[in-house]
Amino acid sequence: MKGPAAILLAGGVGSRLNILVRHRAKPAVPFGGIYRIIDFTLSNIGNSGVTSVAVLTQYKPLSLMDHIGDGSSWDLSGRSRRVKIFPPKTGEEDWDWYRGTADAVRQNISFVMSAQSDEIMILSGDHVYHMDYRLMVSFHRAKKARVTIATIPVPWEETYQFGTAIIDDDSRITQWEEKSPRAKSNLASMGIYVFDREYLISLLTESKEDDFGHHIIPRALREKVVYAYPFDGYWRDVGTVQAYWDANMDLLESSSGIDPGSWKTMTNIYSAGPVFDRPPVSVSSLARVRRSIISPGCTIDGQVENCVLSPGVVVERGASVRDSIIMHDCRICEGVQIERSIIDKEVVVGAYTMVGRGDPKTVNVTHPEHLYSGLTVIGKRTIIPGGITIGTNCIIDPMLEPGTVFPKDVKSGMTITRG
Amino acid sequence: MAQVLAMILAGGRVGELDVLTFFRPKSVLPYGGLYRVIDFPMSNLMHSDIENVGILSQYRPFELIGHIANGEPWDMTGRHRCAVILPPFQGRGASDWYKGTADAVYQNIDFIRLNDPEIVVVLSGDHIYRMDYRKLIEFHLEKNADLTVAFTRVSPEESSRFGLASIDEEDPRGGRLTEYREKPKNSQLEWASLTIYVFRTELLIATLKENAASPSHEFGKDIIPMLMEKHRVYGYKHSGYWGYTRTIQEYYRTSMDLLGNTPKVDIRSWELRTNMADSHIRDRQPAFVGPLASLEDVFFHCGCSIRGRVARSILFPGVTVEEGAVVEDSILFFDSTVRSGAVLTHTIADTDCVISEGADIGDPGDGLTVIGMETTVPEKVRIRGGVTIHPKLKTGSFSKKEYLGGEVVQ
């Protein structure tokens, strides 16, 4: 069968990820050691035989564009395969930022019109999951649907974050609620749509509405042509610091259902990092490594337990890292102790500093809604001095240079900024 | 810098590497938990800004062709760059299989002329080392040499396997070659040839043409002595690490030089490149270390799953060590599996081997045990040190419960 063309909405800000999205869009946030969040969707695309992809970017697209490159990492380059990046562009009136998901697709309607496919998939680059889109398209065709939305049951207390569907016996959606505080169903939209191409064009050209969930879907619903594709695999919207940490930790538990290896998740190993290839991991006779994901190029002389380590991390002798996510090329110096922390790329933690100890209930002062569960986050390329302590729920800004004044005791809940 | 073309002699199958080269030339022997031996000269060339390379190959070149690809892993693509595999070919006359190292280059004089370099560097694809060839070439030009050969110092007891020379003491970097002997017995000469040759192009071509008429065609045995009579032949002294991979013992020792708290060779700082798009490497998840794993002095890469005990060993991408398995002093190539309760000691297992539950393989101190690729060793079998096991064997090929040193399972 001829597969669909895909539009990947990769503009998400993901502001609840706090300093992890200070310099990159949410889809570009590193995940699981060597991946970025968008790799899961791009790999699903590549593995489902989708050969034509438009990536719509908006917020801080640089590292994303770098990462996607020519698409060859996901087998999306060649004579008949392509991935194109569409940043927002100047329209007839002024600079038109995308005002919503439907608006973003409308502004690139020429891609939809010229697509050599009967169906268009609309995807987002914000989620960690594995799906064969071919099965969803087959479902769409079998139901003679004009719109199909992938759905998954979510805990009732989370329904307010999602569009939710009530379906009939034939999986046809009869009622739709968008981010309702009192949803009548917990069957949530995964933000994955299959549209008949012609129908999508008519929906977008007949109105000026901005958002799929709020406007377009309710309109299609009235014509009784919208179906819910049931999905029951692993799927996470890693939109909060805690959810991001949880999903990374799921990698350490084989029963969790997340498995990038068997999912054939692909990534671009060239886009960021050194000009040479990452060498093998070296674990010395001084080290102790347990229950962890370790990426190439790591050098470990200390203790690592329940961690996800990205490439090039150095853990010096006498250092101990537990229950943490450490990103590319961080140096954890001698005698350092780290617990329950997320440390962005190229951070140096000075000798004998302790990170992440304290009362997990002391929420962050500046961002209580982001850091409240006892995790501490350190921003990219910051240099942490030696011999200090940093508590829980702390935010240490990116790019803090050696001259930055740190209190000797960064108490739980504190935020350290450049100023 | 002068226009330089490199020719890598990568074709041979070495008898001494036995089962490890049944299906691949020695130049693509896996090394160091990720690399192939030829990555060392290729990365050296890249770091030396030499971007035109011909690779001479005639033994089972499939894996080599795939590995070199279009030269992209070493940035040798683009308008003026190339990495080309040069297989033997039939010409209008009686061209044939390469009859020796010098003959291999002789048969590709057209390729040299096409590239039109001022200097040709001839390398071999079976050594582990880091060298900036620019310094060697600079030395060659400064001395106005016709041929410069790189040497390293060896102890007399291991010297009889090399081409040996004495070098004039005119310069700390090297000097005129005063004596050269190919694989002499009981020699007091201490400089061993690294089989790295720098030629002026015209002299190389003239010399190869002259040599073509004689019965033997080797750079060491024939070309160096020939040129020493009338030309300026220099020796360049290399002082860094030099690792051999020509016998299984040498290969094992050179591999173990990577390990330890102060390894003899810190290849992690060598900025090496390999073909990361190789299906053995790409699209693998990062390594997983299990809750009961014990690791001590280990190299490993993507796709490994380590749940047992591993000490003083090198694991290539995709190796699985199950819970309760023990791997010590061993090297496991791509995608090999050691099942629960199996013990592997002082052993090299090639790609896609399976060591079944409870098998006990190798002995510390005794000879190495080597297992060829895609072989499955059955449960609970005892295989002592020094046993050679052929590739592609299934459990039914093992008729005994125990194999002793020196035995060959085939």
- Section A368-372 average pLDDT: 96
Q: Is residue A380 part of a domain?
A: yes
Report the greatest alpha carbon distance in chain B: 68
Same-domain status, B196 and B235:
yes
Same-domain status, A321 and A414:
yes
Cβ contact (<8 Å) for B288 and A293?
A: yes
Exposure string for B90-129, b = 16+ CB within 10 A, e = fewer: eeeeeeeebbbbbbbbbbbeebbeebebebbbbbbbbbbb
Q: Tell whether B45 is within 8 A of chain A (Cβ).
A: no
* CATH number of the domain encompassing residue A294: 2.160.10.10
Q: Tell whether B212 is within 8 A of chain A (Cβ).
A: no
Same-domain status, B55 and B112:
yes
Q: Is residue A146 part of a domain?
A: yes
CA dist., res. B190 & res. B69, Å (int): 39
Q: Is residue B276 part of a domain?
A: no
Q: Is residue A304 part of a domain?
A: yes
Do B301 and B315 meet the contact criterion of CB atoms below 8 Å apart? yes
- Section B175-188 average pLDDT: 90
CB-CB neighbours of A24 under 10 Å = 22
Q: Tell which of A248, A263, A282 to mutate to test the B interface (max B CBs under 10 Å).
A: A282
Q: Percentage helix, strand, coil, to 5, in chain A?
A: 25, 30, 50
Same-domain status, B257 and B292:
no
* CATH number of the domain encompassing residue B36: 3.90.550.10
Same-domain status, B240 and B304:
no
Same-domain status, B337 and B194:
no
Same-domain status, B224 and B309:
no
Q: Which of A289 and B90 is assigned the larger pLDDT?
A: A289
Q: Which residue has the tokens 């690779």?
A: B55
Domain boundary (B201, B234, B266) is at B266
pLDDT tier at B366 (50, 70, 90 boundaries)?
A: confident
Looking at the complex, report in whole angstroms how far the Cα of residue B306 sits from the nearest Cα belonging to chain A. Answer: 9
Q: Is residue B277 part of a domain?
A: no
Same-domain status, B309 and B230:
no
Cα dihedral value B33, B325, B249, B38, nearest 10: -20
Share of chain A above pLDDT 90, in %: 79
Q: What is the pLDDT of residues B45-58, one digit of tens each?
A: 999 999 999 999 88
Do A202 and A220 meet the contact criterion of CB atoms below 8 Å apart? no
Cβ contact (<8 Å) for A293 and B286?
A: yes
Q: What is the DSSP string of B294-338?
A: EEEEEEE-TT-EE-SEEEEEEE-TT-EE-TT-EEES-EE-TT-EE
Domain boundary (B202, B231, B266) is at B266
Q: Check pLDDT > 90 for residue A88.
A: no
Same-domain status, A147 and A44:
yes
Q: Is residue A268 part of a domain?
A: no
Looking at the partner chain, which of A261, A279, A283 has a beta carbon nearest the beta carbon of B295? A283
For chain A, the domain total comes to 2
Q: Tell whether B318 is within 8 A of chain A (Cβ).
A: no
E strand or H helix at B237: strand B233-237
pTM summary value: 0.93
Per the structure block, which two tokens stand in for B298?
A: 């280990």
Q: Check pLDDT > 90 for residue A11.
A: no
Same-domain status, A229 and A320:
no
Same-domain status, B170 and B50:
yes
Cβ contact (<8 Å) for B268 and A292?
A: no
pLDDT tier at A90 (50, 70, 90 boundaries)?
A: low
Same-domain status, A74 and A189:
yes
pLDDT tier at B397 (50, 70, 90 boundaries)?
A: very high
Query: A142: domain range?
Result: 5-250
The complex's ipTM?
0.91
Exposure string for A102-122, b = 16+ CB within 10 A, e = fewer: bbbbbbbeebbeebebbbbbb
Same-domain status, A52 and A143:
yes
Look at residue A107 and give its three-state secondary structure: helix
Q: Regarding beta strands B174-182 and B233-237, do their DSSP bridges make them parallel or antiparallel, or are they unpaired?
A: antiparallel
Looking at the complex, report in whole angstroms how far the Cα of residue B43 sits from the nearest Cα belonging to chain A. Answer: 9
- Section A253-274 average pLDDT: 88
Do A60 and A15 meet the contact criterion of CB atoms below 8 Å apart? no
Chain B residues lying within 8 Å of A284, measured CB to CB: 261, 296-297
CA dist., res. A381 & res. A359, Å (int): 26
Q: Tell which of A283, A298, A299 to mutate to test the B interface (max B CBs under 10 Å).
A: A283
Q: Is residue A367 part of a domain?
A: yes
* CATH number of the domain encompassing residue A228: 3.90.550.10
Q: Is residue B256 part of a domain?
A: yes
Cβ contact (<8 Å) for B288 and A292?
A: yes
CA dist., res. A309 & res. A249, Å (int): 11
What's the confidence (pLDDT) of residue B330? 98
What's the confidence (pLDDT) of residue A95? 46
**End-to-end Cα spacing for chain A:** 58
Chain B residues lying within 8 Å of A268, measured CB to CB: none
Looking at the complex, report in whole angstroms how far the Cα of residue A292 sits from the nearest Cα belonging to chain B. Answer: 5
Same-domain status, A354 and A233:
no
Q: Check pLDDT > 90 for residue B179.
A: yes
What's the confidence (pLDDT) of residue A94? 45
Taking CA A226 as the corner, what is the angle to CA A220 and CA A230, rounded to the nearest 5 degrees?
A: 145
- Section A226-254 average pLDDT: 96
For residue B351, give the nearest of B369, B331, B323 by alpha carbon.
Answer: B331
Cβ contact (<8 Å) for A279 and B34?
A: yes
* CATH number of the domain encompassing residue B346: 2.160.10.10
CA dist., res. A143 & res. A168, Å (int): 13
For residue A50, give the nearest of A98, A82, A18 by alpha carbon.
Answer: A82
Nearest chain A residue to B47 by CA: give it.
A276
CA dist., res. A382 & res. A331, Å (int): 11
Query: B384: domain range?
Result: 288-409
Q: Tell whether B36 is within 8 A of chain A (Cβ).
A: no
One-letter amino acid at A110 equals S
Same-domain status, B32 and B163:
yes
Do B335 and B280 meet the contact criterion of CB atoms below 8 Å apart? yes
Q: Check pLDDT > 70 for residue B1.
A: no
pLDDT tier at A211 (50, 70, 90 boundaries)?
A: confident
Q: Is residue A255 part of a domain?
A: no
One-letter amino acid at B127 equals H
CA dist., res. B121 & res. B201, Å (int): 9
Q: Check pLDDT > 60 for residue A371.
A: yes
Q: What is the pLDDT of residues B18-75, one digit of tens each?
A: 899 888 888 999 999 999 999 999 999 999 999 999 999 888 888 899 999 999 999 9
Look at residue A129 and give its three-state secondary structure: strand
What's the confidence (pLDDT) of residue B279? 83
CA dist., res. B349 & res. B197, Å (int): 34
Same-domain status, A219 and A94:
yes
Q: Check pLDDT > 90 for residue A405.
A: no
Do B355 and B308 meet the contact criterion of CB atoms below 8 Å apart? no
Same-domain status, A164 and A88:
yes
CA dist., res. A92 & res. A82, Å (int): 28
Share of chain A above pLDDT 70, in %: 97
Cβ contact (<8 Å) for A291 and B285?
A: no
Q: What is the mean pLDDT of chain B?
A: 93
Same-domain status, A203 and A331:
no
Q: Is residue A262 part of a domain?
A: no
Q: Check pLDDT > 80 for residue A308.
A: yes
Residue A402 DSSP one-character state: T
Per the structure block, which two tokens stand in for A162?
A: 């999602």
Look at residue B176 and give its three-state secondary structure: strand
For residue A82, give the nearest of A57, A54, A107, A104 by alpha carbon.
Answer: A54
- Section A236-254 average pLDDT: 95
Same-domain status, B333 and B380:
yes
pLDDT tier at B78 (50, 70, 90 boundaries)?
A: confident
Nearest chain A residue to B308 by CA: give it.
A290
Q: Check pLDDT > 70 for residue B389.
A: yes
Same-domain status, B49 and B92:
yes
Q: What is the DSSP string of A181-196?
A: TT-S--EEEEEEEEEE
Cβ contact (<8 Å) for A275 and B271?
A: yes
CA dist., res. B377 & res. B398, Å (int): 8
Same-domain status, B248 and B110:
yes
Cβ contacts from A onto B, under 8 A: 107
Q: Which residue has the tokens 């060491």?
A: B220
Q: What is the pLDDT of residues B185-221, one digit of tens each?
A: 878 888 999 999 999 999 999 999 999 999 999 999 9
Cβ contact (<8 Å) for B283 and A283?
A: no
Q: Is residue A324 part of a domain?
A: yes
Same-domain status, A243 and A295:
no
Same-domain status, A64 and A111:
yes
Same-domain status, A42 and A191:
yes
Q: Check pLDDT > 50 for residue B108.
A: yes
Domain boundary (A184, A218, A250) is at A250
Looking at the partner chain, which of B276, B289, B314 has a beta carbon nearest the beta carbon of A289? B289
Nearest chain A residue to B31 by CA: give it.
A280
For chain B, the domain total comes to 2
